[in-house]
Structure 1
Amino acid sequence: MARAAGLLDRHGLAVVEVPVSSSTDQFRGLFDGDLDAAFTSPDNVIAYRFVRDNPLGRTGDARILTALDRGLGLAVYARPGSTGADTLHGTAVGVDVPDSGFAFGLYAVLESLGLKAPVIGVPAAGTSGIGASAGDGDYEIRSLGATPRRLTALLDGRCAATVLGAGSDLRAEAAGAVRLAGIAEVCGPYLGTVLTAVGPVRAQAAHALSSALAQTSRLIVSRVLDPLVLQETRAALDLPADLAARYAARLSDPAEGLVPDGVADRAALETVLGLRLRHRPGNGSLGTALDPARGLLDPQAC
């Protein structure tokens, strides 16, 4: 939308979008300098800034530049034909990686529906990544990568449930997947996606993008760009007209839609951090992660 509305040009930006297979690959690209900025879960920024046993096994000066959305329909979906959460006992549930924000939200949703989450372990010596034992809970965790991959896995039977949002949820519904509950409903207020960069130099370079995105969000939420929003939604997400209209309307929803001022508010960040502390209690040192002095929020963040 920022590109279609001319706001990238207005801010002097040439943006090349690069897909990643997982949040692990995303932050590897950020740390190695292959990516200048990324759209990601705020929990990933917390993990790769503060948590040394994250899937990469290293941390860096990752920081939040702009809050983008509150989940955009982020919810837990069961495979087509499912009759509810009770059918998930003993099945494989798909996540990006087990030790990540959307996964923590999935555990919380399934817990609210009566399913005990597996215990997430620490990496074995000499390895990276986080494991989860199926014997510790009512279902098994399976690492399947980014959202498009999890949608495919749900529909082809490689997992019995997963967390989806930002249009993938609507595609899942159209294919017969069963919505169990939304993360914002169970855990809200919630923050789904932020713009992040690593280090002050890249953060400074990304400030123009932050401004362009925040301005775009304000225009979308004000509904002055509705025809263009619908057009871009259909093109970008390959949705039929009825689902595109649902998605476009969701962008303005105060509970799940875009964040028009770009501010990562404290209450939503506390939800995200609280989910991590709940499902990874060994991360207790993160209790002060939201203290401004610890640098999670870029000083010039929107």
Structure 2
Amino acid sequence: MADKVRIISFPGTGNTPIFVGLEKGLFAARGVDVALETTPSSMYQAQKLVAGEFDMACTAMDNVIAYQENAGEAELDREPDLFIIASATQIEVSFVVAPEIESYEDVKGKRLALDALSTGFAFALYRMLDHAGLKADDYEMVSVGSTPSRWEAVQKGAYAGTLLIEPFTGMARGQGYRVLGSTLEEDVFGHYPGQVFTASRNWAAANRGAVVGFLRGWLDALDWISDPANTEEAGAILAANMPQMKPQAIGPAVQKLRDPRTGLIPMAAFDGPGLETVLRLRSQYGPHEAPLTDPDKYVDLSYYRDAVAGR
């Protein structure tokens, strides 16, 4: 019998390996039965994962750190024991603003939409604004929820800007919205990471085969997507799972996924420098009494090593 893995992730093209793995039977071939659900917010994701309603999550690296340091925005029903299993995507997070916003100076006095104010990619936006010379009282941050909710709120004019990922960034550009900055700007961030896989240490230890099987299926999907012969079918699978995307956006989205700077991380290799960046930003902008300086306490790569070794 296949091991069940219930995974919760944010909406976006970064879920394509799961779409492919399910469509092509790659997870089943590795002995796992994967069920994917997208989350309306990082708070919902954290609550449901810690409560045991999901087994794994694909989330911003900072979310794992935040909840392990008791600095998450959501109230949990138990003490979390989350850890980073492997890297997932190196998505580009862009600061997208309304067409009338032409510079960071124009952001002053405006309301900006975030998923949550003290977790996830919030600190990336704080860093962009800080680097541009803005102070915390120059703008108002509001917790709105996941990317589709924030994008809808900006379109309605409730907020002047937000952070978006693909395909939403491309949709915004196509409608005349402006990108003021992104996490790919090395002079601002050095190196900023994307999303990772996380789970409860207790659940993972009791279900090691399921974790390893999922990772092997994910790696198989990465191999399949990277093969140029599968370009057209990969686009068709993406389109079927994200029908809100316009047909002309599918091809560029697949190409972005194949770029390790903006998409899927080859071999899901762990991003150590990225973790150091997250700890540095969280130490600077987060509610911590002392700097966070021990990256090893948040990571256990033994499952990943087993997955790679068994392929």
**Match among 281, 303, 306 for residue 300 of structure 1:** 303
1:102 positional shift: 0.7
1:55 and 2:61 matched: no
1:249 and 2:255 matched: yes
**Match among 56, 59, 69 for residue 89 of structure 2:** 69
Q: Residue 293 of structure 2 aligns to a residue in which SS?
A: helix
1:272 positional shift: 1.9
Distance 1:14 1:298 in 2: 22
Distance 1:113 1:55 in 2: 26
Q: Deviations along 1:195-228, whole A, 9 cap, x unmatched?
A: 1111233462332112211221233234342112
Unmatched runs of 5 consecutive residues or more in structure 1: 119-136
Q: Residue 257 of structure 1 aligns to a residue in which SS?
A: coil
Moved more, 202-211 or 16-25: 202-211
Pick closer, same or farther for the CA change 1:194–1:82 going to 2, 3 Å.
Answer: same
Distance 2:131 2:227 in 1: 34
Give the equivalent residue in structure 1 for 2:148: 148
Distance 2:124 2:216 in 1: 29
1:28 and 2:47 matched: yes
1:11 and 2:30 matched: yes
1:283 positional shift: 5.0
Give the equivalent residue in structure 2 for 1:214: 219
1:258 and 2:276 matched: no
1:105 and 2:124 matched: yes
Name the count of aligned residue pairs: 278
1:57 positional shift: 4.8
Q: Residue 35 of structure 2 aligns to a residue in which SS?
A: coil
Give the equivalent residue in structure 2 for 1:82: 101
Give the equivalent residue in structure 2 for 1:193: 195
Q: Residue 239 of structure 1 aligns to a residue in which SS?
A: coil
Distance 1:283 1:95 in 2: 24
1:140 positional shift: 0.5
Distance 2:228 2:124 in 1: 30
| Paired-residue identity, % | 28
Q: Any conservation in 2 of the 1:101–1:275 contact (CA below 8 Å)? A: no
Higher helix residue share: 2
Alignment of structure 1 residues 156-175 onto 2, 5 Å:
156-175=156-175
**Match among 247, 268, 271 for residue 274 of structure 2:** 268
Pick closer, same or farther for the CA change 1:88–1:17 going to 2, 3 Å.
Answer: same
Pick closer, same or farther for the CA change 1:224–1:48 going to 2, 3 Å.
Answer: farther
Q: Any conservation in 2 of the 1:77–1:179 contact (CA below 8 Å)? A: yes
Distance 1:166 1:33 in 2: 29
Unmatched runs of 5 consecutive residues or more in structure 2: 1-19, 306-311
TM-score (norm 2): 0.83
Pick closer, same or farther for the CA change 1:201–1:298 going to 2, 3 Å.
Answer: farther
Q: Residue 49 of structure 2 aligns to a residue in which SS?
A: helix
1:174 positional shift: 2.2
Moved more, 13-22 or 241-250: 13-22
Distance 1:25 1:3 in 2: 24
Q: Residue 74 of structure 2 aligns to a residue in which SS?
A: coil
Alignment of structure 1 residues 111-122 onto 2, 5 Å:
111-116=130-135, 118=136
Q: Deviations along 1:222-275, whole A, 9 cap, x unmatched?
A: 434211221122223332232212211111112222112112221121122222
Pick closer, same or farther for the CA change 1:251–1:171 going to 2, 3 Å.
Answer: same
Q: Any conservation in 1 of the 2:65–2:298 contact (CA below 8 Å)? A: no
1:24 positional shift: 1.2
Q: Residue 181 of structure 2 aligns to a residue in which SS?
A: strand
What is the identity, as a one-letter code, of the residue corresponding to 2:253? Y
What is the identity, as a one-letter code, of the residue corresponding to 1:18? E
Distance 1:138 1:70 in 2: 30
Give the equivalent residue in structure 1 for 2:309: none
TM-score (norm 1): 0.85
Distance 2:287 2:145 in 1: 24
Pick closer, same or farther for the CA change 1:188–1:211 going to 2, 3 Å.
Answer: farther
Distance 1:40 1:201 in 2: 17
1:285 positional shift: 4.8
Pick closer, same or farther for the CA change 1:283–1:18 going to 2, 3 Å.
Answer: farther
Higher strand residue share: 2
